[in-house]
Structure 1
Amino acid sequence: MPTQADKWRRRRIHKPSEEGERMTQEMQKPNADQARDLLRHTVATLAYRAGKALRGAPAHFSEFRPAETSRSAGQILTHLADLMDWALSIARGKEEWHNGPSLSWEEGVRRFFASLQAFDTYLASDSPLEAPVEKLFQGPVADALTHVGQIAMLRRLAGAPIRGESYFRADIVSGRVGLEQTPPKREFD
């Protein structure tokens, strides 16, 4: 049976000191530039995934909705652009929400990518971020990723599915935020 001294020694060996724990946390916490770079990569990931979900949608897809009370695919696309406009306003320290106009599918896609480009351009600049990177991620960017997934699912429900892909292998690069992206490296059905 272990003695009290044995238990104490084991705790000392297996439990890091407060100083060691603090140093580990400091080393793991990214600096502001690293966090901003990661957010830019996330925005490029959003562009890549959105490009795949938005390209080649059938003509009727903008009006498609799985239920009467659901948003249509076109309304979700408008919301995606609104989110990127909101993200930019937050980054600039002038948070404003505007409901964008209802547009054709092609115009909505152009508006989304123009808004995404404006946000990424601001992130790439030396202009200060007036909100924490984490808040920009957890709010508008994460919400946009969710809605891109909804559009991908709506494509399948509308009979126009996109192909599955290993996004881990995708060639996603910070700053590449337009509709045109590199071809997929590994797709599957």
Structure 2
Amino acid sequence: MDEKRMMLRHFLAALAYRTQKALRDAPEGFGDFKAGLKVRTPHELVRHMDSVLGYARTYLIGGSYRPRVHAEFAEAIADFHGVLEDLARHLEAGTEFQGITPEVMLQGPFSDAMTHAGQLAMLRRLAGCPVAPENFIFAEISAENLGMDQPLPVSPDKEWPEKL
């Protein structure tokens, strides 16, 4: 596997980590939290992240992608992680890019999904249950772990303004 593919796989692992950090220990009903008019709920955001990455995968395998609609937030989260894992498998296997470069994959759909992980964290704050900041340089992120079971922060901030 070349260095660009390794970097993309690691980026997907960072996305899995940051998404789960934003969702871990969220209060019941967080998936349906409405921050305001025309603002996606966390459930809608995760489905959109699934869609963005499923779309990215079409640049490796062709076809089209439509994420499933789930009544349960947990099922949408599981689908999102499934798409992450499948994308990473194709990167590792050397599946050829079709009509896109690794750089454009990173600047487009991968970065879009990471932006939404940040929005999930912001929604946690707006919902009154902020996520503790951490020094991500020390986070235990592994390209081998793209699932929901992500490690706890190694270096969380001890003091932070929003701490309840």
TM-score (norm 1): 0.77
Match of 1:78 in 2: 47
Secondary structure of 1:187 counterpart: coil
Secondary structure of 1:113 counterpart: helix
Secondary structure of 1:165 counterpart: coil
Secondary structure of 2:76 counterpart: helix
Contact 1:47–1:179 (CA under 8 A) maintained in structure 2: yes
Decide which structure has greater helix share.
1
Q: Are 1:146 and 2:145 an aligned pair?
A: no
Match of 1:126 in 2: 94
In structure 2, how many angstroms separate the alpha carbons of the residues matched to 1:95 and 1:43? 21
Mind listing any 5+ residue stretches in structure 2 that lack a counterpart? none
Mind listing any 5+ residue stretches in structure 1 that lack a counterpart? 1-31
Contact 2:9–2:143 (CA under 8 A) maintained in structure 1: yes
Match of 1:26 in 2: none
Aligned positions of 1:148-187 closer than 5 A: 148-187=117-156
Structure 1 outlier segments of 4+, above 3 Å:
none
The one-letter amino acid paired with 1:172 is I
Number of residue pairs the alignment of both structures matches: 157
The one-letter amino acid paired with 2:132 is R
The one-letter amino acid paired with 1:57 is A
Taking only the aligned residue pairs, the percentage that are identical comes to 32
Secondary structure of 1:112 counterpart: helix
* Structure with greater contact order relative to length (CA < 8 Å, sep ≥ 6): 2
Q: Give the superposed CA RMSD.
A: 1.6
Q: Are 1:116 and 2:84 an aligned pair?
A: yes
The one-letter amino acid paired with 2:85 is Q
Q: Are 1:51 and 2:40 an aligned pair?
A: no
Aligned positions of 1:17-56 closer than 5 A: 33-56=2-25
Cα 1:48–1:112, aligned 2, differ >3 Å: closer, same or farther? same
Greater CA deviation, 72-81 or 146-155? 72-81
In structure 1, how many angstroms separate the alpha carbons of the residues matched to 2:150 and 2:45? 21
Aligned positions of 1:53-72 closer than 5 A: 53-72=22-41
Contact 1:86–1:97 (CA under 8 A) maintained in structure 2: yes
TM-score (norm 2): 0.88
Q: Deviations over 1:43-72 (max 9, x none)?
A: 111111111112222221111121122111
